[in-house]
Every structure is written in structure tokens, then in C-alpha cells.
Amino acid sequence: MIGVYRELEGSMRLAAHVLRRCWVLKLPPVAEEFARQIYFTGASATAGIVVRGALVGTLIIAYVIEVLDADAALAVRILLWVVLREIGPLIAAVLVIQRSGTAVSTELALMKISGELASLRHLRIDPQDYLVVPRVLGIALANAALTVYVQFIAVGGGMLLSALVIHVSFFEMAGSFFELASPLDLVYAVGKSLLFGAAIGVIACYYGLNPPGNSINAVPKAAISAVTQSTLAVMLLNVVFAYLVYGSALFGLFTASQ
């Protein structure tokens, strides 16, 4: 219990540090780390995203049409509710946890064990400024971009497949989709993704900077902790968002009747 509290407190401190020190991004070496992180998390993950996004969109549409015997309007609504608001951010987050969460925690744990963090301190460079701030912000931004990408691929792929299977005009479905969809849906999904990405980045950095030991065996343990805890954090954040949107707090702003 104390360990959980310590980890939570450490992660919160790290998150506060990122917020307080985000201005260090203007320093050239930190900006390079930021660009590297965005490339690694965002750009180099796009091929996998295309396949996964198209598969998810296709699966949802096929399931809705075959099992629920739905018409075009319901299929579009399901796409809107499930893919745009929920599945898109979650898929992107899971992909980022798999790729960047493990990579960041492993890299930082190795740097700690091999003395590179101490080397940075000897150069009067705060490892949290140089390593954590660009990674957390880079992962948050890349995760939001990946989410939009997933949504685009999954919704577009899903509507295309629907048009082929139930013989409804693609443009009719697209028109129906854009009529139902609100810009707030996108804002909601992107806001959620930014928070998911930041949480993944903070947790991966925390476990990377605090491996359970100084031997090489601590590295996989740090990676496992980072993956499990960031998955848990994303799920919890999703519950909070779902409550805010579908619960009583903001009920009416996003309603099922849209």
C-alpha cells in the first residue's frame, strides 16, 4: 500500500514537473528529443495504425450489421459513439503503451543503471528536464495525432465496407455521419488522447527513472510495471471521461439522441 502511494506520489510529482518546466522545450537539445519522440511514437507507428484502424472499423460494422441486423443510420451512430469517442482513443493509447511506454521505460532504466543520468547531472543538466519533459509532451501530442488517424481510418474504412455490404450510398452514410457528428466529439477525443498520452509518458518515465534495483534485471521489471500501470491509468481515465460525458455532470452536452 505504501509502495502504491509512493508510486502515485512520484508520478504526480513528475507530472507537476512537466507542467512547471515545459518551457525547456525551447532549448535546442530538448526540442530535438521532443521531435525524436514525436517521430518515434507518431510517425513510425502509422503503418501499424492503418492496419489496426481499418480492421477495427470493419469489425464493428460487420458485427453491427450481422448480429444486430442494423440499418445504415444505426451503423453510423455506432461508428460515431464507439469509434470516434471511445475505441479510437483507446486503440491509439494501447498502441502507444505497447511501443513507446515500453521503449521509454526500458531506455530510461538502462540509462539510470549505466550511469548516464548521473552523467547528465554532472553536465548540470536535469534528467527530468532533458529526458522526461520532451518524452511526456511528445507522447501526448503523438497520441492525439494517432487517435485522429485511427478515427479517420476506422470510420472511413467502416463506412466504405458498410456501403459495400448493405448497399447504401457511401456519400449518404458520410452525410449522415457528418450530420450526427459534432466538433465537440473530436475535441473530446483529442482532449482525452492528450491526457492518455501524458499519463502513459509520465508513468513510463517514472518507472524508467526508478527501476527496482541497479542490475540489468531491473530493466524488464521497470518495463512491465510501466505497461501494467499505464494500461490501468488509461482505463481509469476513460471511466472518468465516460462518467463526465454520459453521467450526470455534463449530461446533455453529448447525448445519445444526437
Partner 1 sequence: MNAVPTAAIALGYEPADDAPRLEARIWVPAGGSHVVPAVSAALKAALLAAVLDFRPRRDARVVVLGAELEALDARARAAVRAQVAFLPANGGLISHLNAWENIALPLAYHAPRQMQGVAPRVYALLEPFAGDARALLARLPEEMTPFEKLLAGHARLMLGAPRLVLAEDLPRSLAPAERRQAQAFAAAYLAHCPQGTFVRLEDGHDAAD
Residues in contact with partner 1 by the rule CB under 8 A: 27-30, 32, 107, 110-111, 114-116, 119-125, 130
Least Å from the CB of residue 71 to partner 1: 53
Least Å from the CB of residue 225 to partner 1: 22
Tell me if 155 sits within 8 A of 174, measured CB to CB.
Answer: no
Q: Which is nearer to partner 1, 116 or 172 (CB)?
A: 116
Q: Which is nearer to partner 1, 27 or 55 (CB)?
A: 27
User: Which among 188, 100, 203, 80 has a CA at the least distance from the CA of 144?
Assistant: 188
How many CA atoms lie less than 13 Å away from 109 in the CB half-sphere? 28
Question: In DSSP terms, which residues pair with 243 in a beta bridge?
Answer: none
Q: Which is nearer to partner 1, 193 or 210 (CB)?
A: 210
Least Å from the CB of residue 60 to partner 1: 39
Q: Which is nearer to partner 1, 27 or 62 (CB)?
A: 27
The Cα 226–Cα 194 span in angstroms is: 18
Least Å from the CB of residue 122 to partner 1: 5
Question: In DSSP terms, which residues pair with 254 in a beta bridge?
Answer: 251
Task: Provide the b/e sequence for 179-214 (b: ≥16 CB within 10 Å).
Answer: ebbeeebbebbbebbbbbbbbbbbbbbbbbbbbeee
Least Å from the CB of residue 29 to partner 1: 5
Q: Which is nearer to partner 1, 130 or 207 (CB)?
A: 130
Tell me if 61 sits within 8 A of 155, measured CB to CB.
Answer: no
Tell me if 37 sits within 8 A of 134, measured CB to CB.
Answer: yes
Least Å from the CB of residue 26 to partner 1: 9
User: Which among 92, 89, 85, 90 has a CA at the least distance from the CA of 183?
Assistant: 85
Q: Which is nearer to partner 1, 120 or 244 (CB)?
A: 120
